[in-house]
A = this chain, B = another copy of it.
């Protein structure tokens, strides 16, 4: 049913395709037709927009969305292992290694060798990391207001409710 708009022209599409009947130099009025109504497409475009705004809004402190999520989880749950953080955020532990390397180099996070399980590291924010995170959160809240301005306050709330199952 997404193809309804094409149903007629599909019977003999090469009639127009033969030569340059419609090369269309105007790129803005291209019909999406079947693409509209696809949740994945809309979500992808929205996600791109929202990440770009986040990166831009937190640009002055050079924090990307993934880094922010890591800092937030560690800040809320000090002493967590890398495995636990990775599992919670749905990122691979291999990936988390590099993330923590850079965050540790910036003195925002420290890895402390756990005494209960000497394989694992207990993750903590540094004092500097604590104060930095509060600033990041202030900027993130500003970003959140941009989202509200873009799609509306109620729509944002409803969106969060719809997607709450994905935590």
A105 in the interface (beta carbon within 8 A)? no
Contact B2 A130 (CB under 8 A): no
A22 in the interface (beta carbon within 8 A)? yes
Residue of B nearest to A164 (CB): B42
How far apart sit A110 and B9, CA to CA, in the bound complex (Å)?
18
How far apart sit A21 and B115, CA to CA, in the bound complex (Å)?
11
Q: Chain B residues near A106: list those with CB within 8 A.
A: none
Greatest chain B CB density within 10 A among A16, A40, A141 is at A40
Counting every copy of the chain, the complex holds 2
Per-position binary interface string of chain A over residues 152-167, scored 1 when its CB falls under 8 Å from any chain B CB and 0 otherwise: 1001101110111111
Contact B80 A30 (CB under 8 A): yes
Contact B76 A166 (CB under 8 A): no
Contact B44 A76 (CB under 8 A): no
Contact B163 A43 (CB under 8 A): yes
- The contact sample of 5 A-B pairs, CB cut-off 8 A, is A34-B137, A38-B140, A40-B51, A46-B166, A150-B165
